[in-house]
Chains A and B, each alone.
Chain A
């Protein structure tokens, strides 16, 4: 269990992390979400003991990270941002080195290295120099180095940055797999990633926590809008007077004008009323041809933007 209590980090007069507190239970996959410079990496660096907080306390299984750093560091596997690696070593040498400095029992090193190479799918490149590997493989090597001592807690700083879509899916499924029996904290500024992988999201903005919730709850928190997107062919602009025909419509907004003469509108309705049936029927009577109609899903993206805007006010 990780407990962060009133932690502040100051660089001179600049406050990077401002009095944050949160708790992460064993086995949870938690996403730290925030724009660049929000304080995600700083927070992670403090938990791993790479830097020290100006104020506050961080407890890992009730052990203070400042008082007994050796003990807490053993419990954590940290994959820093930008996957720093010793590029002059081969994959196997690197992972073995990581096992050694993390004080894995000497007799177990060989076996654990083999196991983790297999788990992360880099067995076939184990004798290659790291500098000759592609970005996706480097990410896996870094992950292997993080996992080699079987840490209880995995801390991954932007684990999918710089990867192509195929590699992203692969790394994500690897993280999910390890999330089954590890506590995982990962940071990201990609919302869909967090909502796919994480049980819980901590949103940070300008060094402050503005929300801690499940991805689903966060989406619901902002999903009180009820809007429908329609793409129509409407030569006589009858849609301007549609508000009079359908009472539940609050607002009609032009979103996009396509080259083929069709227009995309957003139609905002009263709460909790599904407008789609009525729109379909009335538009047909009015000779407005519907090309496409879609109920707008509120996404984590909306939640994020709203929360950040709200936090700044």
Chain B
């Protein structure tokens, strides 16, 4: 499994994908940081940028997940992977972990803003850690959905659009009816930057991630008998 994680990470950083993801995300975060935190709020609330960050994440996560299975399928390399003694669960987990590592690297980069702020006055560390945790959980949910989308098509663009589409739909669901309040990942995340780690929210995000990964495994397993 470690071999697959290593290979996936290599794939991200030998191709432009990884740099595009981190670069794009950081450019947008920097703009928000300058205009909102330094310009508008003039505060040391590091966590504020992550409200907008969550929105940006919707558009950049699919960049790193769209290739996960669709490219393997298109190039036929899927055959190499599926005929190896690795189980489907491990293969799916490996791809998930690799993408999560890319997000973790990005989060570490955002500490730069924290450093800038702490030059003026110390931001609240507890809230910062809480926000980063929530952001990671949110990213994991998005990644798992992205990987699922990429498992059902061999076209990367389709996988990308499908992921973005579903994520945007999840923003607006609560506006249709309050029943859907708990379906909006972004709403669930919004508690974390206030320093609240809500068990229900945490469990929802983790189980959403698990659900998408299990669905991916089922899709891949099912394909063996129908393809």
* Chain A residues near B (Cβ < 8 Å): 11, 45, 48-52, 54, 69-71, 73-74, 76, 78, 80-82, 84-89, 93, 97-98, 100-103, 145
Q: Which of B78-86, B124-132, B164-172 contacts A (4 or more CB under 8 A)?
A: B78-86
Contacts of B11 in A (CB 8 A): 86, 88
Identify which of residues 23-70 in chain B touch chain A, using a CB-to-CB cut-off of 8 Å. none
Residues of A within 8 A of B108 (CB): none
Further contacts, 15 of them, CB under 8 A, given A76-B83, A101-B3:
A48-B83, A52-B224, A69-B85, A78-B79, A78-B80, A80-B76, A80-B83, A84-B79, A88-B10, A88-B11, A88-B14, A88-B15, A101-B85, A102-B84, A103-B86
- Chain B interface mostly helix, strand, loop or mixed? helix
Q: Which of A11, A78, A101 contacts B4 (CB 8 A)?
A: A101
* Complex Cα–Cα for A92 and B192 (A): 45
Contacts of B83 in A (CB 8 A): 48-50, 73, 76, 78, 80
User: Which of B7, B79, B85, B87 lies in contact with A50, CB distance below 8 A?
Assistant: B79
A106 CB to closest chain B CB (Å) equals: 10
B85 touches which one: A70, A86, A97 (CB < 8 A)?
A70
Determine if A101 and B84 form an interchain contact, defined as CB atoms under 8 angstroms apart: yes
Q: How far is the CA of A87 from the CA of B75 in the complex (A)?
A: 10
In the bound assembly, the distance between CA atoms of A145 and B80 in angstroms comes to 9
- Minimum CB–CB distance from A90 to chain B (whole Å) comes to 10
Contact A73 B85 (CB under 8 A): yes
Q: How far is the CA of A89 from the CA of B6 in the complex (A)?
A: 12
* Complex: chain B residue closest to A157, CB-CB: B79
Interface residues of B in 132-178 (CB under 8 A from A): none
Tally inter-chain residue pairs, CB-CB below 8 A. Answer: 73
- Could you jot down 18 A-B contacts, CB within 8 Å? A11-B226, A45-B79, A48-B83, A49-B82, A51-B225, A51-B227, A52-B225, A69-B85, A70-B85, A70-B87, A84-B75, A86-B11, A86-B75, A88-B11, A88-B14, A98-B80, A103-B84, A145-B80
In the bound complex, CA of A93 to CA of B77 (Å): 15
* A-B CB proximity, top 3 nearest: A84-B76, A100-B3, A80-B79
State the CA gap A101–B86 with chains docked (Å). Answer: 7
How far, in whole Å, are A11 and B226 apart by their CA atoms in the complex? Answer: 6
Given contacts A51-B224, A89-B10, A80 and B15 within 8 Å (CB-CB): no
Flag if A73 contacts B10 (CB, 8 Å): no
- Chain A residues contacting B87 (CB-CB under 8 Å) are 70
Contact (Cβ within 8 A) B84 A50: no
Given A48-B83, A85-B77, A88-B14, A97:B7 Cβ within 8 A: yes
- From B77, B84, B86, B224, give the contact of A86 (CB < 8 A): B77
A102 to B84, CA, bound (A): 5
* Chain B residues, CB < 8 A from A71: 85
A102 and B76 contacting across the interface, CB-CB below 8 Å = no
Chain B residues, CB < 8 A from A48: 83
How long is the Cα–Cα vector from A69 to B83 in the complex, in angstroms?
9
Contact B85–A84 (Cβ < 8 Å):
no
Residue of B nearest to A88 (CB): B14
A50 contacts B3, C-beta separation under 8 Å: no
Residues of B within 8 A of A54 (CB): 225
What's the Cα separation between A97 and B7 when bound, in Å? 8
Distance in Å: Cβ of B120 to nearest Cβ of chain A:
44
Assess A103 versus B85: contact at CB under 8 Å? Given A52-B225, A88-B15, A97-B7: yes
Residue of A nearest to B71 (CB): A86
Which residues in A have their C-beta under 8 angstroms from that of B15?
A: 88
Cα–Cα, bound, A243→B85 (Å) = 67
